Amino acid sequence: MRLLPMTLLLDIPPGWTGPWAESLRELMPDATILVNGQDEFVSEAVDYLATFRPKPGLIKSLANVKAVFSLGAGVDGIVSDPDYPKTVPLVRFVDHTLAREMAQYVVMHVLIHHRSQRHFDAYQAVNKWRQRPILRRTEDTRVGILGLGEIGTMCAERLRDLDFPVTGWSRTRKSVAGVESFAGAGELAPFLARSDILVCLLPLTGETRAILNAKTFALMPKGGFVINVARGGHLVEDDLVAAIDSGHLAGATLDVFQTEPLPASSPLWNHPKITVTPHVAAITDPRAAASSVAAGIAAHQRGDTLENLVDLKRGY
């Protein structure tokens, strides 16, 4: 992609792997691509930043940065920086392959729960043949999706296509074929009351933090199941364990945690009714991210309106 000369700073979280800089350099051969923590750079020379969880203050220190590109769909790690300069546009990563992987993860864990797969795993481990009917009909297993955005909508459509009755909850009302839409704080309680499986796909904001709490679980039907693939900050972990141990909830699948990596001492690791995965529901593909960053920079240089802009006041 031909671009005007510019400098892009790539700020990758420690532990991330993949050919991030290579993908960006391949797509933008005329650009200067620098990697934070590896390359020396002059802050004032940085035109664009691609990042996921920047150290607070990094963006403010880049006095001439023209736009920031999030390498993840969730931007809570960027907008939480109190020094984020409000005049700098923030572009979110929206990608079909990311949404598709998220939908695969959600469908898989809905089915693992619905088909009692963990029950069969436990008996296989001790060489025991234990048949058991599916406990509830698909038509009677209502899935509720908190957050009917890019990813939530794809999850809803895939589950609907498997004949699960699906509803979604969002700030504004949605129109997704075959998916009942609930909107706003006033419709949260009726939405929860008909969510046998509750999937969280909300962005983490001041309004959604700790939304998965004791009150929320009490409003769900007895025997309900929770899947949190959004952010650890959405869930009050102790409330979840209490709701499962009391017998009100049947269990949970968690991909995201208040503290990541999840400390080895966390009781969540060994809870017999909780499945833990290490924030892998979907991993950003470096090539897809590079192509979205390159397209955004090209649009910005042409003076076009940027797509997928984050509303900094709303926080997503």
231 is catalytic: yes
* 102: partner contacted, choices ligand NDP, ligand OXD, none (Cβ within 5-8 A by kind): ligand NDP
92 is catalytic: no
Select which of 92, 142, 231, 300 is catalytic: 231
* 191: partner contacted, choices ligand OXD, ligand NDP, none (Cβ within 5-8 A by kind): none
Give all strands of the β-sheet with 197-200 in edge-to-edge order: 179-183, 166-170, 143-146, 197-200, 224-228, 249-254, 274-276
Nearer to ligand OXD, 163 or 307 (CB): 307
Q: Which residue is nearest to ligand NDP (CB)?
A: 149
Report the distance separating Cα 264 and Cα 269, nearest Å.
7
Other C-beta atoms within 10 Å of 221: how many?
15
Nearer to ligand NDP, 125 or 185 (CB): 185
Tell the smallest beta-carbon distance from residue 115 to ligand OXD (Å). Answer: 27
Q: Which residues pair with 179 in a beta bridge?
A: 166, 176
Nearer to ligand OXD, 7 or 170 (CB): 170
Separation of CA 70 from chain center: 13
- Which amino acid, 150? E
Nearer to ligand OXD, 70 or 141 (CB): 70
Q: Which two tokens stand for residue 7?
A: 């400098």
Q: Which residues pair with 200 in a beta bridge?
A: 146, 228
Report the distance separating Cα 174 and Cα 260, nearest Å.
33
Select which of 100, 209, 279, 287 is catalytic: 279
Tell the smallest beta-carbon distance from residue 284 to ligand OXD (Å). Answer: 6
Separation of CA 20 from chain center: 20
Tell the smallest beta-carbon distance from residue 31 to ligand NDP (Å). Answer: 26
| Residues contacting 307, CB < 8 A, separation 6+ | 91, 94, 296, 299
Residues that bind ligand NDP (CB under 6 A): 73-74, 98, 102, 147-152, 169-172, 201-205, 207-208, 229-231, 255-256, 279, 281-282, 316
Tell the smallest beta-carbon distance from residue 251 to ligand NDP (Å). Answer: 18
Strand ranges, E, within the chain: 7-11, 32-35, 48-51, 67-70, 90-91, 143-146, 166-170, 179-183, 197-200, 224-228, 249-254, 274-276
Look at the chain and count its residues: 316
Nearer to ligand OXD, 141 or 291 (CB): 291
Tell the smallest beta-carbon distance from residue 312 to ligand OXD (Å). Answer: 17
Tell the smallest beta-carbon distance from residue 184 to ligand NDP (Å). Answer: 7
Residues that bind ligand OXD (CB under 6 A): 72-74, 284
* 255: partner contacted, choices ligand NDP, ligand OXD, none (Cβ within 5-8 A by kind): ligand NDP
- Which amino acid, 314? R
Signed CA dihedral, 231, 236, 238, 243: sign only: negative
Nearer to ligand NDP, 47 or 101 (CB): 101
Q: Which two tokens stand for residue 249?
A: 């909830």
Catalytic machinery residues: 231, 279
